Amino acid sequence: DIQLTQSPSFLSASVGDRVTITCRASQGISSYLAWYQQKPGKAPKLLIYAASTLQSGVPSRFSGSGSGTEFTLTISSLQPEDFATYYCQQLNSYPSLTFGGGTKVEIK
């Protein structure tokens, strides 16, 4: 199975900060990586798929990059509504469409 390791697992930041979250895969997954945002009590929301394609309706301050085994999610200027937990997911191969462990972004 492909394992995904997110770092950091916790991040404290201020409104307006540039934030970067990393997701590392245990083996190459081409560009088949997605990023989700989840707020407490809510379902995850798709932000980015295919490593760098912004889902329709998602603000342009979110961006994704990477391929192979290393990927990043960047929020260019953190907004109050961005405080949430972020997950990566690999969709390259079965048997399991693995999620990363999550990164919680909190207000400093």
Partner 1 sequence: QVQLQESGPGLVKPSGTLSLTCAVSGGSISSSNWWSWVRQPPGKGLEWIGEIYHSGSTNYNPSLKSRVTISVDKSKNQFSLKLSSVTAADTAVYYCARRIAAAGKAFDIWGQGTMVTVSS
**Residue 89: strand pairing partners:** 34, 99
- CA-atom Rg of the chain in angstroms: 13
Residue 54 engages partner 1 in binding (rule: CB under 8 A): no
Judged by CB under 8 A, which stretch of 20-28, 45-53, 63-71, 74-82 contacts partner 1? 45-53
Smallest gap, in angstroms, from Cβ of residue 56 to partner 1?
Answer: 9
34: nearest Cα among 73, 76, 60:
73
In one-letter notation, the amino acid at residue 37 is Q
Q: Which residues bind partner 1 (CB under 8 A)?
A: 1, 31-32, 34, 36, 38, 42-46, 49-50, 53, 55, 87, 89, 91, 94-102
